[in-house]
């Protein structure tokens, strides 16, 4: 019997595929079961291997799972790039990019899609919209990166719909990425309504089986369009003709577990590899993208106004030092909410903090409970009653007697969404209060169910976190109250101001998209901050220029590039010793990159471990070189110290 040799990608710290033997040839992209150490694992065939020298150490493939490949060479090329750029093992990346059922070796299911309704929009496109569509359409089958920069409510989604239609007519597929699960449903119904083709959806909120069917529908070319969150980027699409990235500035595109890739950045790579256009859209582009557009490397398409006569919302600051919030809400805020309800409109109350109250305090002695695993204060929750650390998930019963002074006067200080919900229910008993945060939307489809009355236009007040800030188009929502804007201004990260401005602009942009002019109220103790001045002008370019100038002065991105090396262990000394050794190793390379640190992480003790950091700043190519010289980084540990590499970190946490 003749023996064949194949290369197989397996999970784990392997930067090359491993060689196995088989009785018959196997094509690349086919799943196989192979022995690895004492385990059996699912791997992916990566093609023929040369006959190895030491034949007796080569193990045989245990079983072949598929008749046909489930991934293509195109797909492999994207994974190869990501593996090289993020210094992550390709097998890990490939296998984690598969839907769970396929990763576990289950058979390939039938493809499943939903059919579009092929309705025409009820309105004429604006000139801006037509120009944007033409510009992208002309670049069919060639790489070009567009920034669709349109103010909130300017009709970016309609531009997407039209581009999707044209791409399908050319016989090509479209990949549409959205940042949050909550947005896929709405985006899907809007697109599906006008679509003349087959659609499928992929995100972590749908059942594994359905996700696999969407994967197969895309990979077999049955689906014309795939709408999904970041992991959908790694879906093979043989006829891909266009990539759309909605709300491109959103942090949800950055994977924060395992390989820390940016789905937006990889989407651009994918478009380049396939020679197709890509459109990044946002009212508040990331500074990285915004700068590329300024430099002319990306083509900027503008939608400068809302369609028709619909104005941008009016934004006002409420000085919380004078109009003191009662239970979280100022008099002015109560008035605008009442006004909206009286006019059959809806209001949104925004607070980016879940739970009941951020701090529980003994008013006799000042004692505040801490988390036993972190340098953090646990948040008080009432549903159910607990002190819950949002950093390590540790929960404890809320105390009713102070352990320091035995006093019984424990006070919930400050507001979270749960408490604000309570305030609103007391003040506005005549309408439903709909709270949207991670706690109320944890269950599958919970988000869709919660916001259905909002979509239906019923009178109500929405209260919630940043989940409500993005993308949504609620017809009856006229009023937005931001209850604690000081929170955003006090962030320590170099991107804090950018993120704060984006969040405020986005949440304000939910107001008055149809009919009544939007009213936005921002409660703050620091109304004279220069940033408010810029945000209130509602001129994002002006704001971006100012932020960019600041970044240039300090040589932060996009002026330079970053890589963040984090080390953690149960005590702090080995962490710092290990990072110091890495820093010396990098400095010995004599490359012009800057190495900052080692320094403690912003929250040094987190989840029972001490965290330290090393930051590398410089040119992208030099950082890549330095990292490769000092790697491998994936799975790196040194004694008790675990390392973690983040190339182009989103935050320095």
Write out the residues near ligand ADP by the rule CB under 6 A.
Answer: 123-126, 129, 150, 152-158, 307-308, 473, 513
Q: Report the 3 state secondary structure along 276-336.
A: CEEEEEECCCCHHHHHHHHCCCCEEEEECCCCCCCCCCEEEEEECCCCCCECCECHHHHHH
| Residue with Cβ nearer Zn ion (555 or 570) | 570
CB of 285 to ligand ADP, least distance (A): 13
For 530, left (φ over 0), alpha (ψ -120 to 50), or beta? Answer: alpha
> Which of Zn ion, ligand ADP, none lies near 125, with the C-beta cut-off 5 to 8 A by kind?
ligand ADP
> Which of Zn ion, ligand ADP, none lies near 152, with the C-beta cut-off 5 to 8 A by kind?
ligand ADP
> Which of Zn ion, ligand ADP, none lies near 255, with the C-beta cut-off 5 to 8 A by kind?
none
Q: CA-based diameter of the chain, in Å? A: 88
| Residue with Cβ nearer ligand ADP (370 or 515) | 515
> Which of Zn ion, ligand ADP, none lies near 402, with the C-beta cut-off 5 to 8 A by kind?
Zn ion
Q: Tokens standing for 16?
A: 């090359």
Q: For residue 148, what are the β-bridge partners?
A: 281, 301
Q: Report the 3 state secondary structure along 369-425.
A: CCCCCCCCCCEEEECCEEEECCCCCCEECCCCCCCCCCCCCEEEECCCHHHHHHHHH
Residue where the block lists tokens 């409109």? 345
Instruction: Give the phi and the psi of residue 200 in degrees, each rounded to 5.
Output: -145, 165
* DSSP secondary structure letters along 78-95: HHHHHHHHTT--HHHHHH
CB of 115 to ligand ADP, least distance (A): 21
| Residue with Cβ nearer ligand ADP (155 or 464) | 155
Helices 156-169 and 181-194, interaxial angle, to 10°?
60
Contact window for Zn ion (CB under 5 A) among 28-36, 233-241, 386-394, 491-499: 386-394
> Which of Zn ion, ligand ADP, none lies near 373, with the C-beta cut-off 5 to 8 A by kind?
Zn ion
Q: For residue 25, what are the β-bridge partners?
A: none
Q: Which residues contact 628 (CB under 8 A, 6 or more apart)?
A: 87
> Which of Zn ion, ligand ADP, none lies near 52, with the C-beta cut-off 5 to 8 A by kind?
none
Q: Tell me which DSSP letter residue 97 carries.
A: T
Coil, strand or helix: which one is 497? helix
> Which of Zn ion, ligand ADP, none lies near 480, with the C-beta cut-off 5 to 8 A by kind?
none
| Residue with Cβ nearer ligand ADP (125 or 359) | 125
> Which of ligand ADP, Zn ion, none lies near 436, with the C-beta cut-off 5 to 8 A by kind?
none
> Which of ligand ADP, Zn ion, none lies near 635, with the C-beta cut-off 5 to 8 A by kind?
none
**Cα–Cα distances in angstroms (integers) from residue 507 to residues 218, 252, 313, 478, 500, in the given order:** 33, 16, 11, 12, 11
Q: Is 229 in contact with 178 (CB distance < 8 Å)?
A: yes
CB of 651 to Zn ion, least distance (A): 18
CB of 122 to ligand ADP, least distance (A): 8
| Residue with Cβ nearer ligand ADP (159 or 362) | 159
Using CB under 5 A as the binding criterion, the count of chain residues that bind Zn ion stands at: 15
CB of 527 to Zn ion, least distance (A): 34
| Residue with Cβ nearer ligand ADP (78 or 278) | 278
> Which of Zn ion, ligand ADP, none lies near 126, with the C-beta cut-off 5 to 8 A by kind?
ligand ADP
CB of 608 to ligand ADP, least distance (A): 43
Determine the Cα–Cα distance for residues 245 and 267; give it in Å rounded to an integer: 8
**Residue of 609, 532, 543 lying closest to 570 (CA atoms):** 609
CB of 232 to ligand ADP, least distance (A): 19
CB of 153 to ligand ADP, least distance (A): 4
CB of 161 to ligand ADP, least distance (A): 8
Instruction: Pick one of 407, 491, 558, 600: the residue that binds Zn ion (CB under 5 A).
Output: 407
- Cβ-in-10-Å burial (0-12, 13-18, 19+) of 81 comes to middle
Examine residue 362 and tell whether it contacts Zn ion (CB under 5 A): yes
Contact window for Zn ion (CB under 5 A) among 213-221, 391-399, 567-575, 645-653: 391-399
Examine residue 402 and tell whether it contacts Zn ion (CB under 5 A): yes
Near Zn ion in 42-81, by CB under 5 A: none
Examine residue 16 and tell whether it contacts Zn ion (CB under 5 A): no
Instruction: Pick one of 24, 405, 581, 603: the residue that binds Zn ion (CB under 5 A).
Output: 405
> Which of ligand ADP, Zn ion, none lies near 5, with the C-beta cut-off 5 to 8 A by kind?
none
**Cα–Cα distances in angstroms (integers) from residue 159 to residues 8, 128, 162, 236, 299, in the given order:** 43, 10, 5, 24, 15
Give the angle subtended at the CA of 506 by the CAs of 331 and 178, to the nearest 5°: 140
Question: Where is 582: in which H helix or E strand?
Answer: helix 572-588
Examine residue 653 and tell whether it contacts Zn ion (CB under 5 A): no
> Which of ligand ADP, Zn ion, none lies near 308, with the C-beta cut-off 5 to 8 A by kind?
ligand ADP
CB of 509 to Zn ion, least distance (A): 34
Q: Is 434 in contact with 425 (CB distance < 8 Å)?
A: no
Q: For residue 13, what are the β-bridge partners?
A: none
CB of 646 to ligand ADP, least distance (A): 30
Examine residue 433 and tell whether it contacts Zn ion (CB under 5 A): no
Determine the Cα–Cα distance for residues 449 and 437; give it in Å rounded to an integer: 13
CB of 169 to ligand ADP, least distance (A): 20
Q: Tokens standing for 255?
A: 């994977």
Task: List interacting residues with Zn ion (CB under 5 A).
Answer: 362, 364-365, 367, 371, 373-374, 389, 391-392, 394, 402, 404-405, 407
């Amino acid at each position: 019997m003749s023996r064949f040799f194949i290369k197989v990608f397996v999970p784990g710290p392997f930067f090359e595929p491993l060689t196995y033997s088989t009785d018959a040839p196997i094509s690349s992209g086919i799943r196989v079961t192979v022995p690895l150490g004492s385990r059996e694992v699912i791997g992916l065939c990566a093609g023929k291997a040369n006959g190895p020298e030491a034949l007796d150490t080569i193990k045989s493939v245990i079983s072949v799972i598929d008749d046909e490949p489930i991934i293509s060479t195109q797909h492999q090329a994207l994974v190869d790039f990501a593996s090289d750029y993020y210094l992550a093992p390709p097998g890990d990346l490939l296998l984690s990019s598969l839907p769970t059922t396929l990763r576990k070796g289950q058979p390939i299911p039938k493809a499943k899609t939903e059919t579009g309704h092929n309705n025409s929009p009820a309105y004429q496109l604006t000139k801006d919209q037509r120009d944007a569509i033409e510009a992208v359409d002309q670049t069919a089958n060639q790489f070009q990166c567009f920034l669709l920069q349109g103010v909130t409510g300017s009709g970016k989604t309609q531009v997407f719909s039209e581009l999707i239609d044209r791409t399908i007519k050319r016989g090509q597929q479209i990949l549409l990425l959205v940042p949050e699960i909550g947005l896929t449903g709405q985006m899907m119904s809007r697109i599906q309504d006008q679509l003349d083709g087959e659609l499928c959806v992929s995100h972590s909120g749908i059942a594994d089986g359905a996700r696999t069917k969407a994967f197969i529908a895309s990979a077999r070319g049955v689906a014309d369009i795939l709408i999904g969150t970041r992991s959908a980027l790694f879906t093979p699409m043989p006829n891909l003709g266009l990539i759309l990235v909605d709300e491109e500035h959103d942090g949800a595109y950055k994977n924060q577990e395992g390989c820390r890739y940016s789905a937006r950045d990889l989407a651009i790579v994918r478009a380049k590899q396939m020679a197709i256009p890509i459109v990044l859209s946002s009212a508040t582009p990331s500074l990285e993208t915004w700068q590329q557009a300024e430099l002319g490397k990306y083509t900027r398409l503008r939608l400068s106004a809302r369609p028709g006569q619909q104005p941008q919302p009016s934004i006002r600051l409420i000085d919380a030092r004078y109009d003191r919030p009662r239970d979280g809400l100022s008099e002015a805020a109560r008035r605008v909410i009442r006004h909206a309800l009286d006019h059959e409109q809806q209001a949104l109350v925004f607070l980016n903090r879940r739970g009941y109250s951020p701090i529980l305090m003994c008013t006799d002695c000042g004692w505040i409970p801490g988390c036993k695993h972190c340098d953090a204060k646990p948040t008080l929750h009432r549903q159910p009653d607990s002190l819950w650390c949002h950093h390590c998930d540790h929960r404890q019963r809320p105390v009713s007697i102070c352990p320091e002074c035995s006093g019984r006067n424990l006070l919930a200080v400050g507001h979270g969404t749960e408490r604000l919900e309570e305030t609103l229910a007391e003040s506005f008993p005549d309408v439903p209060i709909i709270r949207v945060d991670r706690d109320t939307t944890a269950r599958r489809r919970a988000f869709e169910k919660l916001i259905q009355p909002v979509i239906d236009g019923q009178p109500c007040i929405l209260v919630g976190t940043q989940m409500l800030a993005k993308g949504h188009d609620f017809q009856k929502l006229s009023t937005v109250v931001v209850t604690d804007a000081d929170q955003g201004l006090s962030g320590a990260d170099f991107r804090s101001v950018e993120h704060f401005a984006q969040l405020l602009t986005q949440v304000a942009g939910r107001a008055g998209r149809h009919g009544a002019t939007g009213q936005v109220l921002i409660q703050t103790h620091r109304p004279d901050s220069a940033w408010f001045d810029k945000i209130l002008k509602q001129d994002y370019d002006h704001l971006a220029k100012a932020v960019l100038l600041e970044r240039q002065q300090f040589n932060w991105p996009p002026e330079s590039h970053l890589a963040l090396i984090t080390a953690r262990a149960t005590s702090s000394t080995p962490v710092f010793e290990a990072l110091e050794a890495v820093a010396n190793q990098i400095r010995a390379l004599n490359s012009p990159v800057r190495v900052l640190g080692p320094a403690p992480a912003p929250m040094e003790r987190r989840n029972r471990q001490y965290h330290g950091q090393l930051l590398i700043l410089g040119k992208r190519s030099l950082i890549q070189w330095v990292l490769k010289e000092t790697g491998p980084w994936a799975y790196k540990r040194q004694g008790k110290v675990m390392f973690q590499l983040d190339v182009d970190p989103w935050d320095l946490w």
